[in-house]
Structure 1
Amino acid sequence: MRALAASHRHRAEEEEESVFVSMTDMTVSFLFIVMILLAFFASRFKDQEVVARDEYDVVVGERDSARADLQSAEARIVELEGTIATLRAELLEAAERETDLKARIAELEAELEALRRNPLERYLDEVAATRLRILEDLRDKLRSDFPDLTVAISAENDALRFQGEGLFASGARTLTADKQKIVEDIAMRLDSVLPCYTTGRRQDWHEACNPGHAVIEAVQIEGHTDDVGDDLPNLRLSAERAAATYGAMSDKVPGLLDHQNYRGQPVISVAGYGKNRPIAGNDDAEGRATNRRIDLRFIMYSPGRSEEIEIIRKRLAVSDQPG
């Protein structure tokens, strides 16, 4: 019995020892597997996230170099933008200088062309320009004084035109009181203008008012009519209107007749042309009203040869001498 019991006990111990060994082996195997897995993941981490020190230093150096290049490029951009702005300003200034120089060249070319022209031709061109300035000044002042007055410069730039009933009522030969005021104003303005362009005891030439040395030959008061009625009555009517204008002007400014032309003759004169010098058609009322007019025509002295220009200058300059 003891032997049997001992035998059973010995078998039980052997079975327990066999189970323990088996569990130990399994544990060791599991730990081994875990270690293999850890080694695997560690190697994976090293491959993806960790680099060698020398490689890291190379990458950092390249990064710092790139940053330095970027900063240098940005500084260069700022510098170039400043240079571009400066060059644009210089270009604009150069363009303005070019415009000024072109204008100056045009002036010099015009002056050169004028010098190349015949002196007589240059003088006559200056005289024509002077007459136009006189007419424009008179027209503007009359319009300012009498806003309702119909006054214009002729197409030929040689006369002031008072059209329709500008100075005379239809069929009238004399000036009404309000029209006479206009004529008297014209007389006073003429009297202030003529001394710089005429000779005689009242001549008063100076460079500022007449740099071209123009001389007025005549200021002709011209009467004109339309074509309604017979020729002779129209001619008489135009002459009477011109004479009435002349009389009102000389009554207001008696010294107006003292202004003389180059030949020593009074510059104020009168003419009546009737219907013979129309400036519009007489087919309708508007055209006939245009032709019924008083013209104040400025006839300028035209020398026949270049040598005479210097004589004119000396003749006008007499009034500019002191004393």
Structure 2
Amino acid sequence: MRAQAKRLRHEEEEESAFISMTDMTVGFLFIMMILLAFFASQMQEPDAVSRSDYDRVIAERDMWQERAQSRAEVILRLEAEIEALKQQRERLQAEVNDLNTALEVQRAKVTELTSELEAARTRIADLEARIRELLQQVAERDEQIEDLRRQLAELQKIDPLEAYLAQVSQARREVLQRLRDAIRADFPDLQVELSEESDALRFQGEGLFASGRSDLARDRREIVARLAQRLDEVLPCFTLGEASRFDPDCNPGFVMIEAVQIEGHTDDVGTDRVNRNLSAARANSTFFAMTQAAEQVMQHQNLKRQPVLSVAAYGPDRPVASNETPEGRATNRRIDLRFIMVTPQDTDGIEVIREALESVEDQR
């Protein structure tokens, strides 16, 4: 840019010099014309001026004319060059203007990019600070995870008694589900469910008995008989006695049933004496109907060599629904078939159960 400006100034100086020379030449010619006019006015006669003077003046005139013509040619050439330089100057000035405009645009972009750069640097600083914070949190979580892993490792150390009791609970649930599914398949309309604790089958009382009665309805005896038969199929693998058929395939956890209680329950309508007697009578009716349908069911014994099948009566003491509604009272009038498992107090007790069941296997 500086070189272009310097060149422009030089061109302007040359232009000024050419203009001055032109003015001087024109002035010089004007003077010569005045002199010629003066000489002409002084000439009175052709013979008034000597020949030598005349020839000298003519020679000088011719010389000045020649010089004037030469200068005129130079002036024309210089004016043409000046015009060309002016056009070059205009083009260069236009280019300068364009470059200045482009320069301003680029400066604006630089300013914008500088602002963006500062914003990006601020954002980077914020992100780096957040990353450091998160890394600190990750380190803290790693410590917590490691601590929890240590705690989990401690908890995962198997307690033989706890593991055995878990197997006992699982085996009872599977036995009850097997019985429930079999009864449902035999009697699709019968309402039979597992208890909340998965330790009993629950029959609504009016599903087996007429309201206020303790004797099984004639068309319900078949249900109780089929229940006894299904129970007789399950108990051999979990009991002792002559009917025992223990096998590790059907009882891999070596668990044993302590009792299978036929429990009678009622709603709270009526006196306590009547309800307790009614619940006991219903439990006994179910017990005798089952033993009559499958006599061998009483051969299944617990670890104490006692029959596992027994009865219990609770009257209205153990409701499973509200007695405020007819539906709730109907649900509470029920028979439960509850499985009570042998639960040893220590590992020695587990070994006693295992040995008792294996002795059955050895006798086969």
- What's the TM-score, normalizing by structure 1? 0.64
SS in 1 for 2:281: helix
Matched ranges for 1:62-81 at <5 A: none
Residues 203-218 of structure 1 mapped to structure 2, 5 A cutoff: 203-218=244-259
Q: Distance in 2 between matches of 1:132 and 1:114?
A: 25
Provide the residue aligned with 2:160 in structure 1. Answer: 119
CA spacing shift, 1:121–1:175, aligned 2, 3 Å: same
Q: What is the root-mean-square deviation in Å for CA atoms of aligned residues?
A: 1.7
- Which position in structure 2 is the counterpart of 1:180? 221
Residue 294 of structure 1 aligns to a residue whose secondary structure is: strand
Aligned to 2:320: 279
Cα shift at 1:115: 6.5
Q: Cα 1:186–1:311, aligned 2, differ >3 Å: closer, same or farther?
A: same
**Deviating more after overlay: 294-303 vs 115-124:** 115-124
Quote the residue 2:180 is aligned against. 139
> How big is each residue's C-alpha offset from its partner over 1:106-129, in whole Å with a ceiling of 9 and x where there is no partner?
xxxxxx889722111110010000
Q: Which runs of 4+ in 1 moved over 4 A?
A: 112-115
The question of 1:189 aligning with 2:230 is answered: yes
- The DSSP-based 3-state class of the residue aligned with 2:197 is coil
Report the equivalent of 2:300.
259
TM-superposed deviation, 1:265: 0.6
Is there any run of 5+ residues in structure 2 with no aligned partner, and where? 1-152
Q: 1:319, CA displacement in angstroms?
A: 2.1
Percent identity, aligned pairs only, is 53
Q: Deviations over 1:209-255 (max 9, x none)?
A: 11011100000000000000000000000000000000000111111
Q: Distance in 1 between matches of 2:187 and 2:245?
A: 28
State whether structure 2 residue 243 is matched by structure 1 residue 202: yes
Bigger Cα displacement from structure 2, 191-200 vs 115-124: 115-124
The equivalent of 1:153 in structure 2 is 194
Please name the residue that 1:220 is paired with. Answer: 261
Match of 2:273 among 232, 250, 256: 232
SS at match of 2:302: coil
**Bigger CA radius of gyration:** 2
Compared with structure 1, are the counterparts of its residues 310 and 291 closer, same or farther at alpha carbon in structure 2 (3 Å cutoff)? Answer: same
In 2, the alpha carbon distance for the partners of 1:115 and 1:267 equals 35
Q: Is the helix fraction higher in 1 or 2? A: 2
Seen in structure 2, the aligned counterparts of structure 1 residues 259 and 127 have a Cα distance that, compared at 3 Å, is: same
Residue 296, structure 1, aligned to residue 337, structure 2: yes
Match of 1:130 in 2: 171
Letter in 1 for 2:338: R
SS in 2 for 1:321: helix
Contact kept in structure 2, 1:151 and 1:166, CA below 8 Å: no
When residues 113 and 136 of structure 1 are mapped into structure 2, their CA distance, relative to the original with a 3 A threshold, is farther
1 CA distance for matches of 2:178 and 2:265?
24
